[in-house]
């Protein structure tokens, strides 16, 4: 790979050879890293469904968009990086879908069951805590409808 470059350069001084050797070593290291990352990515993909009656997926089809209203977990499990990132994106998307007037049921569908609940002057506060992220809260009125919220601080995500 580097032989044509060396021949074109016309300079075979020891310094150039050292630089080329160092560059080749760096390229080899990066190629190995890329292979490991690709293997990790492949291991995060679910295996194909081999049950009877399952339909074959055409690779030319557009995959369905992810469901963003899945209940959020009550805690963030120790997942591999990519899966944790995907889970975090669903969580952030669900918090962005909050709106005034949502019912308790709709709120639970978006964010899951709260870690704690407090009632103050006919207002209910639901608290959510996420390890490594922080906490958020949602305020509900006496009818159980969302009146306000404070999102978790999705810093550096």
Per-residue pLDDT of the chain (157 residues; tens, 9 = 90+): 445 444 454 556 788 888 888 888 888 887 777 677 666 666 555 544 444 443 333 434 444 444 444 455 554 444 457 787 888 889 999 999 999 999 999 999 999 999 999 998 889 999 999 888 889 999 999 999 999 999 998 765 5
Report the pLDDT value the prediction gives residue 20, as an integer from 0 to 100.
Answer: 85
- Secondary structure class of 85 (helix, strand, coil): helix
Q: What is the layout of strands, in order, in the sheet containing 146-150?
A: 116-120, 123-130, 134-140, 146-150
Element (H, E) at 135: strand 134-140
CA angle 145/148/151 to nearest 5° reads 125
Q: Which residue ranges make up each domain of the chain?
A: 102-157
Contacts of 69 (CB under 8 A, 6+ apart): 94, 97, 109, 110
Q: How far is CA 99 from CA 17, 34, 77, 142, in A?
A: 64, 42, 27, 17
Start-to-end Cα distance in the chain: 39
């Amino acid at each position: 790979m580097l032989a044509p470059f060396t021949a074109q350069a016309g300079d075979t001084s020891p310094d150039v050879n050292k630089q080329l050797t160092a560059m080749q070593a760096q390229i080899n290291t990066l190629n190995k890293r890329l292979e490991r990352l690709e293997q990790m990515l492949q291991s995060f993909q679910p295996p194909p469904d081999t049950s009877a009656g399952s339909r074959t997926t055409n690779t030319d089809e557009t995959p369905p968009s992810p469901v963003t209203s899945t209940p959020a977990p009550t805690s963030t499990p120790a997942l591999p990086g990519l899966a944790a990132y995907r889970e975090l994106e669903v969580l952030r998307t669900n918090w962005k879908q909050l709106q005034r007037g949502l019912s308790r049921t709709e709120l639970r569908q978006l964010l899951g069951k709260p870690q704690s609940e407090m009632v103050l002057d006919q207002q209910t506060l639901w608290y959510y805590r996420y390890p490594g992220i922080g906490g958020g809260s949602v305020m509900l009125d006496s009818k159980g409808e969302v009146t306000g919220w404070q999102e978790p601080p999705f810093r550096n995500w």
